[in-house]
């Protein structure tokens, strides 16, 4: 190995950021070059995305800037599209410019997961996921813009379609986003839309299995369904999305059909498909096969953890059990992984990763939540407080913790901020209109006069224009 080995960390999310932070802290300056490659210039703290979508925290505060945090690392904004570990070379597509190859000595594969979609007619054209800060910002604008649209027309069909919000997938990401956004829309209608009633809204959560929130016990999941149903939300268990048509008619496997401008897909994730362009060993689910030490099986100097890694779960008796894809494991695995790399560099044996899952906390809107931690079941306000205090304590960097607490404090002092900023999705529209009318003061006929935005369906409507 080179005197000053190059560490390549693919992905600057939970695992990538925490591994890099620990390595830059533990390795003496100049001992290694740490290179972090990620298409985004920031790590996203995904558990706060539902609160960002609901406007309880500023979206910028739920992301951690990589360049500012990883001062002793080289950050490349781009994507690794594949790698040959036998030759220690990775292919990188930078944000701009030609793809190139990057040589390295030690690999940390931490590119996470992507939405697990199905070939459902219309899904790719009309659906949106819920994994990025862009999607959270978009959905907030979409929901609020739909209230504006419904309130500004007398056409009953347009109103019904605008006020119907469909979510597919009842894991914590889906349930939290569903509940938080409904809570925001309910507040907005109650306070600012006299022409609308909360009863006009229809929020549908479609779940293929017989329960939601698999992370908590069945009684807690059933309690959550009861709470959401009491808010007028429609939870369809044992039901699948069959299709969504060009004019936004959603068809479900139980035979129901309705129009919905908003379709959010949160039905699980799968390992980053980029792994198939590598020579790393993958299991039948497409995950990197790891030893309990987080070394990639059978390879020297390759490590992995997080959503894309099959890490043996040493706390479970069943043979072949692997750790679940969640932040709790990702953060702890990253720390063990970095410590193990340092141990190996010091000719010590790496240690196995072992962590017993302690439970889940989920927010269901302002002052509402559900939690099950160390077997203790908590509901309502105490669970919501647990959700907030746990996640702010886990948020990387003091700067972000303080900003989030400041957001919450300010929000508690004023009315809820429910203005849609849908213009950010089509920032050139105003300018194009000015150019198209040539300053002749022609009446603005938005939809007819402007070039069609690239996106279709729901995306086209998000601007609220
Ligand atoms: C809405 C939501 C809420 C959640 N809430 C919770 C919760 O309450 N509790 C909990 O335990 N877990 C929660 N999770 C799950 C948790 O966020 C993930 O398990 C965790 O982020 C996994 O960490 P990771 O490092 O493996 O992946 P990520 O954090 O997703 O990081 C992967 C990184 O790789 C980058 N990347 C992707 N492709 C490439 C490429 N080709 N080259 C280079 N980089 C690439 C991505 O941009 C990203 O930055 C939630 C997830 C979501 C979506």
Nearest CA, atom 5, ligand 1:
47
Residue pair 113/304 in contact (Cβ under 8 Å)? The answer is no
The answer, yes or no, to whether any atom of ligand 1 lies below 6 A from the CB of 13, is yes
pTM metric for this prediction: 0.91
Counting ligand 1 atoms within 8 A of each CB, the residue from 13, 39, 102, 390 with the most, and so the one to mutate, is 13
| Reported confidence tier of residue 6, pLDDT bands at 50, 70, 90 | very high
The answer, yes or no, to whether any atom of ligand 1 lies below 6 A from the CB of 134, is no
Q: Express each pLDDT in 255-291 by its tens digit.
A: 999 999 999 999 989 999 999 999 999 999 999 999 9
Please report the pLDDT score of residue 137 as a whole number: 96
Residue pair 21/396 in contact (Cβ under 8 Å)? The answer is yes
Strands of 4-138 (E only): list them: 6-10, 33-38, 42-44, 63-65, 73-84, 89-94, 100-103, 106-109, 113-115
Q: Which candidate, 271, 357, 272, 354, places its Cα nearest to that of 311?
A: 354
Please report the pLDDT score of residue 173 as a whole number: 92
The answer, yes or no, to whether any atom of ligand 1 lies below 6 A from the CB of 104, is no
pLDDT above 90 as % of the chain: 83
Q: Give the Cα separation of 369 and 363 in Å (integer).
A: 4
pLDDT above 80 for 438: no
Q: Which candidate, 272, 264, 244, 252, places its Cα nearest to that of 170?
A: 264
Q: Express each pLDDT in 412-426 by its tens digit.
A: 998 888 888 888 888
Average pLDDT over all residues of the chain: 92
pLDDT above 50 for 215: yes
The answer, yes or no, to whether any atom of ligand 1 lies below 6 A from the CB of 14, is yes
pLDDT above 60 for 462: no
Q: Give the Cα separation of 268 and 115 in Å (integer).
A: 6
pLDDT above 60 for 441: no
Q: Express each pLDDT in 32-41 by its tens digit.
A: 999 999 999 9
Strands of 169-307 (E only): list them: 202-206, 234-236, 241-244, 249-252, 257-259, 262-265, 269-271, 288-289, 302-304
| Reported confidence tier of residue 16, pLDDT bands at 50, 70, 90 | very high
- The number of beta carbons lying within 10 Å of the beta carbon of residue 433 is 16
């Amino acid at each position: 190995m080179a005197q000053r080995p190059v560490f390549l960390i693919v992905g600057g999310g939970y695992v990538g950021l925490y591994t890099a932070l620990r390595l830059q802290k533990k390795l003496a300056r100049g001992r290694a070059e740490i290179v972090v490659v990620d298409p985004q210039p920031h790590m996203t703290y995904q558990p706060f995305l539902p609160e960002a979508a609901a406007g309880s925290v500023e979206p910028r505060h739920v992301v951690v800037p990589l360049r500012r945090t990883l001062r002793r690392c080289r950050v490349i904004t781009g994507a690794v599209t594949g790698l040959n570990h036998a030759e220690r070379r990775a292919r990188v597509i930078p944000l701009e410019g030609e793809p190139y190859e990057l040589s390295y000595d030690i690999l940390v594969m931490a590119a996470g997961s992507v939405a697990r979609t199905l070939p459902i007619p219309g899904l790719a054209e009309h659906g949106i996921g819920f994994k990025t800060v862009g999607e959270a910002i978009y959905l907030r604008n979409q929901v609020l813009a739909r209230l504006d649209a419904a309130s500004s027309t007398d056409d009953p069909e347009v109103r019904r379609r605008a006020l119907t919000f469909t979510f597919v997938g009842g894991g914590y990401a889906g349930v939290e986003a569903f509940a938080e956004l409904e809570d925001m829309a309910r507040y907005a209608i109650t306070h600012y839309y006299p022409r609308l009633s909360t009863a006009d809204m229809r929020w549908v959560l479609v779940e293929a299995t017989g329960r939601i929130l698999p992370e908590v016990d069945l009684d807690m999941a059933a309690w959550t369904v009861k709470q959401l149903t009491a808010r007028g939300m429609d939870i369809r268990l044992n039901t699948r999305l069959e299709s969504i048509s060009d004019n936004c008619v959603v068809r479900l496997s139980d035979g129901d059909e309705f129009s919905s401008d908003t379709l959010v897909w949160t039905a699980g994730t799968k390992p980053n498909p980029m792994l198939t362009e590598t020579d790393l060993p993958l299991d039948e689910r497409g995950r990197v096969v790891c030893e309990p030490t987080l070394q990639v099986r059978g390879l020297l100097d390759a490590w992995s953890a997080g959503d894309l890694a099959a890490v043996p779960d040493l706390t479970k008796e069943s043979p072949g059990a692997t750790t679940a894809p969640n932040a709790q494991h990702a953060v702890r695995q990253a720390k063990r992984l970095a410590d193990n790399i340092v141990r190996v560099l010091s000719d010590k044996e790496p240690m196995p990763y072992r962590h017993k899952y302690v439970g889940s906390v989920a927010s269901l809107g302002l002052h509402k939540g559900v939690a099950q931690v160390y077997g203790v079941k908590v509901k309502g306000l105490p669970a919501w407080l647990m959700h907030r205090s746990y996640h702010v304590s886990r948020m990387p960097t003091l700067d972000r913790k303080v900003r989030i607490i400041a957001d919450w404090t300010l929000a508690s002092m004023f009315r809820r901020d429910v203005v849609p900023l849908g213009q950010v999705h089509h920032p050139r529209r105003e300018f194009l209109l000015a150019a198209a009318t040539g300053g002749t003061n022609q009446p603005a006929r938005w939809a007819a006069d402007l070039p069609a935005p690239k996106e279709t369906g729901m995306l086209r409507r998000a601007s609220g224009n």
